Amino acid sequence: MENVFRNLLLDGRRVDIAAENGVISRISPAAERDAGQGEPPRLVVPAFYNCHTHLAMDLLRGYADDLELMPWLQDHIWPAEAHLADDIVYAGARLAMLEMIRSGTVFANDMYWYAPAVVRAARDMGMRCAVSMQTIETGGPGRNDPKNVAANKELAALPRDASSMVFATYAPHAIYTVCEQTLRNIAAKARDEDTFLHVHVAETRFEVETCRKEHGGRTPVAYLNDLGLLGPKTVMAHCVHLTDDDVRIIADTGAVIVENQQSNMKLVSGLFPYKRAIEKGGCRLALGTDGASSNNSLSMFAEMKAAALCAKIESGDPTCAPAADVYRHATRGGAQAFGLDAGEIRVGAAADFAILKPDAAPLVPGFNRASDLVYAADTSCVDTVVCAGSVLMEHGIVPGEEAIVSAARDAAARLTGAATAGS
């Protein structure tokens, strides 16, 4: 059945957009009866693709702020996460998806515990989601955490590509939580199944220095490449500390970098070298928010602005990372990272888009639409969100929002209460 969205402004034209079977089936001039009523058209733009998240960490937003990465993880986040449960992750993931929908995001690439709960949440919310078969060897080399073992068995039945709204990826957490042989094994599985691989890479100087000491002077990028993990379906989060050789390896293998500038700044991990890696190195790029406990927002509007400004500061070049490029990384770049024909509004592309309020103050006067979206717009500008042709939010209303928020409050209280009692 065709779903028609009327009186929209696309590239300066008033149009109607029809969606059928999840794709844009028709873009036509706005019907005369709509264009002639004096109603201002609503701006339609590609939706966002959040390519690195830890969704249920929404429940830990503000729980342990203003700390360095390893103390933050070891002394606060990991002890709290020891008390996670399937229903807690489900509630947290739904809260995160609600937040993302409200800001025009239709896809998340998630890596977290109790991943089957994230699958249920994504299906209930109607979002696209890449769900990670995570490996963290808490029991020592070759011994994945039992929670991951159980979850990964359940996820094994999922599709492995974005032709499905919800699909599974391999996710070795990082080189400091997964041993060499396990990394080799995961690389082989990903190659055999021609599927995606999601991993944290070169997030901190400490990680890079430790890798060089333990692995014959190799950087994390060189080490992972030697183990066979890098390729066009490898999605690498952070990549803050890159050498020129790292940039060359990433570009040559076609791996995708996901920058997370707000999280990087908050944890003082460093600034992603945008100009060297993207404008000079030719690497593929997408954007992610990381988890809400280290950001603390899942807004891709805020992430785009941080990406553009950080690139300018890091490079010392005010022309670096122009708004149109940053917006493309947050939309088309994220979609392409996972093989989706999306992130553009054209016939045949996935019907994923956001409809913005015509009177939203940050979009006025409208001299440069890309600049408005990257530097000025925020979640208040979003009116309606469409994913695969289905309406996730209409005129600011997401069905069931009150119940989602209430369940998340209860889950957060259980999680942090248990962590406090156990400390």
Provide the pLDDT for residue 420: 61
The number of residues making up the chain comes to 423
User: Does pLDDT of 422 surpass 60?
Assistant: no
User: Does pLDDT of 35 surpass 70?
Assistant: no
pLDDT band at 74 (very low <50, low <70, confident <90, very high): confident
User: Does pLDDT of 423 surpass 60?
Assistant: no
Provide the pLDDT for residue 419: 58
372: its two tokens: 């408005």
Q: pLDDT tens digits for 228-251?
A: 999 999 999 999 999 999 999 999
Q: Name 414's Cβ contacts closer than 8 Å, sequence gap at least 6.
A: 83, 88
Mean pLDDT value of segment 64-91: 89
Provide the pLDDT for residue 185: 98
Other CB atoms within 10 Å distance of the CB of residue 419: 20
Q: pLDDT tens digits for 245-263?
A: 999 999 999 999 999 999 9
User: Does pLDDT of 31 surpass 90?
Assistant: no
User: Does pLDDT of 95 surpass 70?
Assistant: yes
**Exposure string over 13-47, b if 16+ CB within 10 A, otherwise e:** ebbbbbbeeebbbebeebeeeebeeeeebbbbbbb
Provide the pLDDT for residue 417: 81
Q: Are 211 and 234 in contact (CB under 8 A)?
A: no
pLDDT band at 69 (very low <50, low <70, confident <90, very high): confident
Q: pLDDT tens digits for 101-153?
A: 999 999 999 999 999 999 999 999 999 999 999 999 999 999 999 999 999 99
**Interior angle at CA 57, CA 266 and CA 423, nearest 5:** 90
Provide the pLDDT for residue 1: 78
Q: Hey, what domains does the chain have and what are their CATH numbers?
A: 48-337 (3.20.20.140)
d(CA 34, CA 295): 41
User: Does pLDDT of 181 surpass 90?
Assistant: yes
In one-letter notation, the amino acid at residue 408 is A
Provide the pLDDT for residue 38: 66
Beta bridge partners of 128: 107
Q: What is the pTM of this model?
A: 0.96
Q: pLDDT tens digits for 335-384?
A: 999 999 999 999 999 999 999 998 899 999 999 999 999 999 999 999 99
d(CA 290, CA 55): 8
Packed helices 86-102 and 401-422: angle between N→C axes, nearest 10 degrees: 130
Q: Are 160 and 189 in contact (CB under 8 A)?
A: no
Provide the pLDDT for residue 234: 98
Q: pLDDT tens digits for 282-329?
A: 999 999 999 998 899 999 999 999 999 999 999 999 999 999 999 999
Provide the pLDDT for residue 33: 57
Provide the pLDDT for residue 101: 98
| End-to-end C-alpha distance for the chain, whole angstroms | 55
